[in-house]
């Protein structure tokens, strides 16, 4: 019984809210829907730009990391080649 009262109260409150919204709305429904649509497009564009900026930044970071890794490997190889003859002579 409590559940039925709760559901009835919820439906009644929703209906009152809809009626109040229709009576107090500052604009026609079509104009309000158009504003909501424009706003959603603006948010979509904003989020899309932010996502693309993030992806570009992440890609740049990965490219820099790759370049740094290759440079480090090249330096390590050069140093290894310099000390390899000394290590070989010490082992023999």
Each residue's pLDDT tens digit, 52-77: 999 999 999 999 999 999 999 999 99
The DSSP H or E segment spanning 17 is helix 2-24
Delimit the domains of the chain by residue range. 2-91
Structure pTM?
0.49
| pLDDT (mean) for 11-16 | 93
């Amino acid at each position: 019984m409590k559940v039925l009262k709760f559901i009835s109260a919820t439906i009644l409150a929703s209906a009152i809210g809809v009626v109040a919204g229709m009576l107090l709305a500052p604009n026609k429904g079509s104009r309000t829907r158009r504003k909501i649509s424009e706003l959603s497009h603006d948010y979509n564009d904003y989020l899309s730009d932010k996502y693309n900026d993030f992806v570009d930044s992440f890609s740049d970071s990965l490219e820099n990391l790759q370049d740094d890794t290759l440079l480090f490997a090249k330096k390590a190889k050069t140093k290894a080649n310099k000390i390899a003859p000394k290590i070989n002579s010490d082992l023999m």
